[in-house]
Amino acid sequence: MKNIRNFCIIAHIDHGKSTLADRLLEFTQTVAEREMQHQLLDNMDLERERGITIKSHAIQMNYRYKGEDYVLNLIDTPGHVDFSYEVSRSIAACEGALLIVDSSQGIEAQTISNLYLAIGNDLEIIPVLNKIDLPHAMPEEVSDQIIELIGCDVDDIIHASGKSGIGIEEILNAICDRISAPKGDPAAPLQALIFDSVFNSYRGIEVYFRIFNGTLKKGEKVKFINTGKTYEADEIGVLKLNQEERKEMGAGNVGYLISGIKNAKEVKVGDTITHVEKPGQSIQGFEDVKPMVFAGIYPVETSEYEELRSSMEKLQLNDASLVWEPETSAALGFGFRCGFLGMLHMEIVQERLEREFDMTVITTVPSVQFHAYTTKSDMIKVNAPSEMPEPNYIDHIEEPFIKAQIITKSEFVGPIITLCMDKRGILKNQTYLTSDRVEMTFEMPLAEIVFDFFDKLKTISRGYASLDYELIGFRTSNMVKLDVMLNSEKVDALSAIVHRDKAYDWGKRLCEKLRELLPRQMFEIAIQAAIGQKIIARETVKAMRKNVLAKCYGGDISRKRKLLEKQKKGKKRMRQVGNVEIPQEAFLAVLKLD
* Binding site residues, ligand GDP, CB under 6 A: 11, 13-19, 51, 79, 130-131, 133-134, 161-163
CB nearer ligand GDP, residue 98 or residue 368: 98
Minimum separation from the CB atom of position 344 to ligand GDP (A): 14
Helix (H, G, I), strand (E, B) or coil at 255: strand
Minimum separation from the CB atom of position 39 to Mg ion (A): 6
**Which one, of 253, 255, 202, 265, lies nearest residue 1 by Cα?**
253
Q: Which does 19 bind (CB under 5 to 8 A by kind): Mg ion, ligand GDP, none?
A: ligand GDP
What is the Cα–Cα distance from 59 to 76, expressed in whole angstroms?
8
Minimum separation from the CB atom of position 104 to ligand GDP (A): 8
Q: Radius of gyration over alpha carbons of the chain, in Å?
A: 27
Extended strands (E) in 435-592 = 437-445, 465-477, 479-486, 489-490, 496-499, 525-531, 534-541, 574-577, 580-583
Minimum separation from the CB atom of position 39 to ligand GDP (A): 6
Minimum separation from the CB atom of position 476 to ligand GDP (A): 39
Minimum separation from the CB atom of position 580 to ligand GDP (A): 43
Minimum separation from the CB atom of position 22 to ligand GDP (A): 8
What is the Cα–Cα distance from 453 to 15, expressed in whole angstroms?
23
Q: Which does 11 bind (CB under 5 to 8 A by kind): ligand GDP, Mg ion, none?
A: ligand GDP
Q: Which does 425 bind (CB under 5 to 8 A by kind): ligand GDP, Mg ion, none?
A: none
Helix (H, G, I), strand (E, B) or coil at 109: helix
Binding residues: 14-19, 130-133
What is the Cα–Cα distance from 259 to 219, expressed in whole angstroms?
9
Minimum separation from the CB atom of position 73 to Mg ion (A): 18
Q: Which residues pair with 328 in a beta bridge?
A: 334
**Which one, of 129, 180, 134, lies nearest residue 156 by Cα?**
129
Q: Which does 326 bind (CB under 5 to 8 A by kind): ligand GDP, Mg ion, none?
A: none
CB nearer Mg ion, residue 21 or residue 118: 21
Q: Which does 56 bind (CB under 5 to 8 A by kind): ligand GDP, Mg ion, none?
A: none
CB nearer Mg ion, residue 162 or residue 182: 162
Minimum separation from the CB atom of position 14 to ligand GDP (A): 4
What is the Cα–Cα distance from 148 to 508, expressed in whole angstroms?
48
| Residue 13 buriedness (CB in 10 A; 0-12 / 13-18 / 19+) | middle
CB nearer ligand GDP, residue 133 or residue 266: 133
CB nearer ligand GDP, residue 18 or residue 90: 18
Q: Which does 88 bind (CB under 5 to 8 A by kind): ligand GDP, Mg ion, none?
A: none
CB nearer ligand GDP, residue 31 or residue 134: 134
* DSSP string across 314-357: HHHHT-TT-EEEEEEETTTEEEEEEEESSHHHHHHHHHHHHHHH
Q: Which residue is nearest to Mg ion (CB)?
A: 18
C-beta separation of 332 from 364 below 8 A: yes
CB nearer ligand GDP, residue 113 or residue 259: 113
Minimum separation from the CB atom of position 434 to ligand GDP (A): 22
C-beta separation of 367 from 109 below 8 A: no
Q: Which does 445 bind (CB under 5 to 8 A by kind): Mg ion, ligand GDP, none?
A: none
C-beta separation of 371 from 447 below 8 A: no
Binding residues for GTP: 14-19, 130-133
Angle between helices 109-120 and 84-92 (to 10 degrees): 40
CB nearer Mg ion, residue 55 or residue 210: 55
CB nearer ligand GDP, residue 18 or residue 350: 18
CB nearer Mg ion, residue 78 or residue 445: 78
C-beta separation of 248 from 187 below 8 A: no
Q: Which residues pair with 401 in a beta bridge?
A: 445, 473
Alpha-carbon dihedral sign for residues 545, 548, 550, 552: positive
**Which one, of 305, 365, 358, lies nearest residue 335 by Cα?**
305
Binding footprint of Mg ion on the chain (CB under 5 A): 18, 53
**Which one, of 360, 458, 372, lies nearest residue 408 by Cα?**
458
32: number of CA atoms within 13 Å, CB side? Answer: 2
C-beta separation of 266 from 229 below 8 A: yes
Q: Which does 134 bind (CB under 5 to 8 A by kind): Mg ion, ligand GDP, none?
A: ligand GDP
Q: How many CB atoms lie within 10 A of CB 223?
A: 20
Q: Which does 424 bind (CB under 5 to 8 A by kind): ligand GDP, Mg ion, none?
A: none
